[in-house]
Amino acid sequence: MRRTRILWVLILLAINVAVFTWNQQHGRVFTLTTRMSQTIMITKTGFSPNHLTCKQGDTVSLVIRNTDSQTHNFTLTDYHIFSPDLKKDELSTIEFQAIKKGTFPFVSDTPGHPETGFSGTLEVK
């Protein structure tokens, strides 16, 4: 009788662990939420910095500032982030939760710009 009870407790525990792991792998459990804040400058040679890292679940807060004479924007398609087109000295603030793990490209999607260095990556660990 006692053994049966212990067995049931173990089975329920195993189910809980499995569900928790599944949720974690699918980005549904955020045990530690921190904030990643970064200013990204757009210069005539591209984004600076052009590689960002954060942890899954982080609140990512970006200030995009265009210092180039050409118009640029910040487009992170995998996270459905599309800044407005920014003229020289204009800035845009962006905030989102990094729910998906992986390495995601961002670009200035003005025609011809991604190919000429206006690109970078966001790595969510």
* Strand 59-66 with 35-43, pairing: parallel
Indicate the residue among 97 and 110 with the shorter CB distance to Cu ion. Answer: 110
Indicate the residue among 58 and 68 with the shorter CB distance to Cu ion. Answer: 68
Indicate the residue among 27 and 114 with the shorter CB distance to Cu ion. Answer: 114
Give min distance, CB of 113 to Cu ion, in A.
3
* Strand 91-97 with 59-66, pairing: antiparallel
Going through the chain in order, the beta strands assigned E by DSSP cover 35-43, 46-48, 51-54, 59-66, 75-76, 81-82, 91-97, 102-107, 119-124
Quick one: tokens of 92? 């845009």
29 φ, ψ to 5°? -120, 120
Give min distance, CB of 116 to Cu ion, in A.
8
Residues in touch with Cu ion (CB under 5 A): 72, 108, 110, 113, 118
DSSP state of 5: H
Give min distance, CB of 72 to Cu ion, in A.
3
Q: How many residues does the chain have?
A: 125
Residue showing the smallest CB distance to Cu ion in the complex:
108
Indicate the residue among 24 and 43 with the shorter CB distance to Cu ion. Answer: 43
Give min distance, CB of 46 to Cu ion, in A.
9
